[in-house]
Structure 1
């Protein structure tokens, strides 16, 4: 059996227009960081008036497609925690750092 590592939590999310954002906390079970050309987008973000997610859950990073991030190893985030914030009409991983 393979040992599972603990995934980093979304420590803060200031993308308040996201359906999963409640009081600057992400309540999706897990998020994915995508590969937009010039930024590390949170591809779980979507703007809708209905709030979703699970009250008792603080999101974790399920997958990170930014292989060029210094915290990325084998497409998994190895940062202790991440912050997500608004960017254009989306949300981005503010913890992203080029390798």
Structure 2
């Protein structure tokens, strides 16, 4: 079985997220919704979560219209998450030009 290196979340500017503690420490995040490149792993709350020794990776990306997406797998070298249309969006998202 072949494995691929998943892109890391290089930076997350969403300080309200429970996984963001000087970087995203979720095991992996999911990006995408039918409307935008939202970080669906975003958790707004006072309890902090994640694994301090890990840097999050993109586990799944549902934005097939992104130039970094091939077969719903992100192939960017890394991504940045921050506020855009929502509190936590993938700022690396680039729509394919048709």
Q: TM-score, normalised by structure 1?
A: 0.92
Cα RMSD for the two superposed structures:
1.1
In structure 2, distance between residues paired with 1:88 and 1:17: 16
In structure 1, distance between residues paired with 2:81 and 2:72: 18
Distance 1:82 1:52, change over 3 A: same
Structure 1: runs of 5 or more not aligned: none
Partner SS for 2:93: coil
Alignment partner, residue 27 of structure 1: 25
Match among 39, 43, 60 for residue 42 of structure 1: 39
- Matched residue count: 96
Distance 1:89 1:95, change over 3 A: closer
Structure 2: runs of 5 or more not aligned: none
Partner deviation per Cα, 1:22-75 (whole Å, 9 max, x = no partner): 12x1000000002241x2000000101011000000000000000000000000
Match among 57, 60, 64 for residue 61 of structure 2: 64
In structure 1, distance between residues paired with 2:5 and 2:44: 28
Q: In the alignment, is the contact (CA less than 8 A) between 2:29 and 2:59 conserved in 1?
A: yes
Distance 1:40 1:22, change over 3 A: same
In structure 1, distance between residues paired with 2:48 and 2:63: 27
